[in-house]
Every structure is written in structure tokens, then in C-alpha cells.
Amino acid sequence: AKEEGRGLFRYYSAERNSASLYHLRLEADLRKAIDLKEFELHYQPQVNILHDDKFVGMEALIRWHHPREGNIRPDVFISVAEASGLIVQIDRWVLRQACIDGARWRDKIDQPFRLSVNVSAVHFRQTDFIDVLTCIMLETGMKAENLALEITEGVLMKELQLATENLSKLKKLGIEVAIDDFGTGYSSLAYLRNFEVNTLKIDRSFLIDIGANKKDQAIVSSITELARNLKLDVVAEGIETKEQLEQVFGRGCYIIQGYYFAKPMPRQALDRYLNIIDDE
């Protein structure tokens, strides 16, 4: 039994070592990925189902084409990037590229739209966050009315002063803010009273089984009603089926993002989706 125990211990520590080795390697590779142009942005459309599924905007989602490992999912490398602080450089690359593409779309899409960009907590809390953002918008010609930032509840729980200041500066600039993965963080609803935000994004976890799960139905109804009472927009993400679509529609949520309408796609594919003729 003693032998067995040791073997088990050895096994687990080997596992742990190789897991941290993997992370270290990932971190080293991430450090070079921007320069090596291994990142790409994909864009997922958002539509309004109350208005003939009209296109209202898109979310920028990062993709990493690793030279040896192939495509690595953001769920895997974003947490490594956050732990190492590399996320700040990565998020800034994303913001700049999204603004370049957004400014171009402004010339080609003849209707209002908002391009949403994810901003990690570490990035949002940089003291020069607003300055850098303003610079990028000036350089790229991106307009505030075409930009929205997605932050998570966690952003609002630490360094309240800075978060409050940043949010009111964003409001002055005319840049909307959405709370991503709403309802999944460890936070109180009080922040909705104290912070200037525009949109609640209902997390996919509440929608996966919404057809059958009465609790999910109650939660989604409540979030939608909360948004309506606070005069906030509400977005359902991760809608894949007609049943999910009907469930959220019946509960008063009309802005939809999900595979049911479109998967995230490269810029050129979104051009085709929007019937944009590229004359460059």
C-alpha cells in the first residue's frame, strides 16, 4: 500500500510538472505571438429578432494560430495571459485591430452598428487605459458610437475608484459598456446602481437547457426584467436552437448572438455575410 501511495504521488507530481511546463511554454509562445502575427480576430454578428433579424453589431473574438499546436482556444490561453500580465499587450492588439476593422466597416455598412471588444479586468485597471483607448481611436478613425466594451462583473469588484472613473470617462466619450457573462460572477447587484453600464449579456450557461429547466427560465426572465427596469439593453449569447430562440424571445430578450444565426468568422467572411463588396 505504501508503494502504491508513492507511485500515486509520483504520478500526480509528474502530471503537475508537465501541466506547469505546458503553461510556461504557452506563456513563452504567447510573448512572441503578437510579433509573429499569429493572432487573428473573428467577428460574430448580433441581430435584433424584433426587427426582422436585422444586423446590429458584432463581437470581436481572438484566435491564436499556434505554429505547432494548431488553433488554441481563447478559454485556454486568455487565463495564462491574464496570470502573466501579457493580457494587456494582447488586449491592446485586439482593440487596435478591431478599431481598424470597425473604422473600415463604418464606411461600408450604411446603418448604425456597434462592434464589441472584450476587455479583461487586468487591462481595464491599467491607469492609462482610457488614454491608450483614445489614442487608438484617433489613429484608426474609429468612432465612439460604433464601439462597445465588454467587461465582466469581476472588473467592478476591485479598485472601485478606478473602475468608477473609467466607466464615467467612457460614458463621456460615448462608448457603451456591456457586462459580460452576467449573473455568473461573485458580485452584488448594487454595482448596477453605482456604475454607468449600458447592456447586460446573459451568459450561455443559463440558455443551454432553457427549454427544459424552469430555474433557467426564471433567471432569464428576471435578468430581462431587471434590464428593462434599469433601462439597459439585454443580449442573449450562445443561442443555437430555435427552441432557445423562442424561449428568450418570449421573455423579452431580442438581441441575439449565437450559432443559430452565425458563428464567429474572419473579417472577409463577415463582409460577405453583410454583402459588402470590397473595392480595395
Look at the block and give the residue holding cell 426587427. Answer: 51
Q: Which three cell numbers stand for residue 89?
A: 499587450
Coil, strand or helix at 234: strand
Single out the residue of 73, 193, 214, 231 in contact with ligand C2E (rule: CB under 6 A).
Answer: 73
Q: Write each residue from 41 to 60 as x if it is in contact with ligand C2E (CB under 6 A), else as -, in one continuous string.
A: ---x----------------
**Which one, 101 or 181, has the nearer CB to ligand C2E?**
181
Which of ligand C2E, Ca ion, none has residue 97 at its interface (CB below 5 to 8 Å by kind)?
none
Contact 90, 83 (CB under 8 A): no
Q: In whole angstroms, what is the distance from residue 130 CA to residue 164 CA?
A: 12
**Which one, 113 or 182, has the nearer CB to ligand C2E?**
182
Of 9-17, 29-37, 116-124, 211-219: span binding Ca ion (CB under 5 A): 116-124
Which of ligand C2E, Ca ion, none has residue 94 at its interface (CB below 5 to 8 Å by kind)?
ligand C2E
Examine residue 78 and tell whether it contacts ligand C2E (CB under 6 A).
Answer: yes
Of 36-44, 102-110, 118-126, 165-173: span binding Ca ion (CB under 5 A): 118-126
Please give the residues from 146 up to 165 whose contact with Ca ion meets the rule CB under 5 A: 150
Size of the site for ligand C2E (CB under 6 A): 21
Examine residue 91 and tell whether it contacts Ca ion (CB under 5 A).
Answer: no
Q: In whole angstroms, what is the distance from residue 39 CA to residue 72 CA?
A: 10
Examine residue 2 and tell whether it contacts ligand C2E (CB under 6 A).
Answer: no
Q: How far is CA 47 from CA 70, 77, 179, 239, in A?
A: 31, 29, 18, 11
Examine residue 140 and tell whether it contacts ligand C2E (CB under 6 A).
Answer: no
Please give the residues from 179 up to 238 whose contact with Ca ion meets the rule CB under 5 A: 180-181
Examine residue 180 and tell whether it contacts ligand C2E (CB under 6 A).
Answer: yes
Coil, strand or helix at 78: helix
> What's the alpha-carbon Rg for the chain, to the nearest Å?
21
Residue partners of 199: CB distance under 8 A and separation at least 6: 148, 176, 177, 178, 179, 227, 232, 233, 234, 235
Single out the residue of 44, 46, 97, 118 in contact with Ca ion (rule: CB under 5 A).
Answer: 118
Q: How far is CA 153 from CA 140, 150, 177, 179, 188, in A?
A: 29, 10, 12, 6, 9
Closest separation in Å from C-beta 146 to Ca ion = 17
Examine residue 22 and tell whether it contacts ligand C2E (CB under 6 A).
Answer: no
Coil, strand or helix at 60: strand
Residue ranges that bind Ca ion, judged by CB under 5 A: 118, 150, 180-181
